[in-house]
Amino acid sequence: MTQTTIKVKGETKKLLDLVKRYDNQSYDELIRGMIEEKLEEHLELRKELKAQILKAAEDIRLRRVRTLSFDELYENLYGTKY
């Protein structure tokens, strides 16, 4: 196993120490766990996005869509009338 040294600011090290699950957890285990969590979240979001795109394409194909006026679009985005 190849090892390397990385530089982190003292404040970053303090934050890493705060989120350790147990006292002798290595920084490698800690950082790897965080990365794996983010990767899982990313992959799940990609699955959701793909499902939404496929549903939207199916809605368009079956003409289950309607156009929005600028006012409706603005209100949907910002929760207030233009």
| All structural domains of the chain with their residue ranges | 10-78
pLDDT of residue 53: 92
pLDDT band at 30 (very low <50, low <70, confident <90, very high): very high
* pTM for this entry: 0.60
* 68 Cα distance to chain centroid: 28
Residue pair 59/65 in contact by the 8 Å Cβ criterion: yes
Q: If you average pLDDT over every residue of the chain, what do you get?
A: 92
Helices (H) and strands (E) in the chain, counts: 3, 0
